[in-house]
């Protein structure tokens, strides 16, 4: 009914409202859309069919199988790479050890002829007692030995007559000499050796020094006058 001009009011009983709500709930449970939704024109979401669910499950299972196979292949590849790396490390370590153990093989082969000649010289000297021939053989063997060392970069130091060098020489003593300049190597006790540009062993030498000149005894002052007086008397 009208209460004021331009305004209306309607009295709707509560039983009518309750009946309308029950009708909406029943239609919702039965799958029917409410009239308001149907009137809006918005389609209700379609429920997934069993065939779609089965195909999706099959696709997911196939993807899982594919990923498991890929993971297995990657794991086997990683294991093979680790095994190859470990084998390479062991092989390199073994080659390094062999290189250290047999590093002097070439040097040994070069020195074996020297040892053979030395044994032949000693055997000939013991059998013939020809010491001159033995000395000659030993000199030749010594020359062969030095030549072999030279092929491997080793050379003896030349020290006699050279100025004393603390970087190359080790002084065993000083000897007075009037023929050699002071601080000159006079004799060699033990030869020094170089390996390429590196000192292997310093030479043990004796060094010259200037002779000590004894000082003349001083004449007492009181003895000069009697000597002069005696000269005058003569």
- CA dihedral (45, 46, 48, 52) in degrees, to 10, reads -120
**pLDDT at residue 165, as a whole number:** 94
Which structure tokens are listed for 95? 């080659």
Residue 16 is predicted with a pLDDT of 61
Which has the closest alpha carbon to 172: 207, 124, 132, 131?
207
- Give me the DSSP letters along 36-88: HHHHHTPPPPPPPPHHHHHHHHHHHHHHHHHHHHHHHHHHHHHHHHHHHHHHH
What is the rounded CA–CA span in Å between residue 181 and residue 163?
Answer: 9
Would you state the pLDDT for residue 38? Answer: 47
Cβ pair 175, 142 in contact under 8 A? no
- List the end-to-end C-alpha distance of the chain, in Å, as a whole number: 189
pLDDT, tens digit, for every residue of 37-73? 444 454 555 555 667 788 888 888 889 999 999 999 9
Tokens 């044994």 found at: 119
> Which residues in the chain come in under a pLDDT of 50?
1-10, 33-40, 42, 227-234
């Amino acid at each position: 009914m009208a209460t004021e001009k331009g305004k209306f009011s309607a009295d709707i009983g509560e039983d009518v409202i309750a009946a309308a709500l029950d009708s909406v709930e029943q239609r919702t449970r039965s799958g029917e859309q409410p009239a308001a939704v149907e009137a809006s024109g918005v389609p209700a979401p379609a429920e997934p069919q069993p065939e779609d669910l089965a195909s999706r499950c099959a696709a997911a299972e196939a993807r899982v199988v594919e990923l498991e196979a890929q993971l297995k292949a990657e794991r086997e590849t990683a294991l093979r790479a680790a095994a190859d790396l470990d084998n390479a490390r062991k092989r390199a370590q073994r080659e390094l050890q062999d290189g250290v153990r047999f590093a002097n093989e070439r040097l040994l082969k070069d020195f074996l002829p020297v040892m053979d000649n030395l044994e032949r010289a000693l055997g000939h000297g013991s059998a013939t007692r020809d010491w001159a021939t033995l000395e000659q053989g030993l000199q030749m063997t010594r020359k062969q030995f030095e030549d072999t060392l030279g092929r491997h970069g080793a050379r003896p130091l030349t020290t006699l007559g050279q100025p004393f060098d603390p970087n190359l020489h080790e002084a065993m003593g000083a000897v007075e000499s009037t023929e050699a300049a002071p601080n000159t190597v006079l004799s060699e006790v033990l030869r020094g050796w170089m390996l390429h540009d590196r000192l292997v062993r310093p030479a043990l030498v004796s060094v010259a020094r200037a002779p000590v000149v004894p000082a003349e005894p001083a004449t007492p002052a009181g003895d000069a006058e009697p000597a002069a007086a005696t000269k005058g008397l003569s």
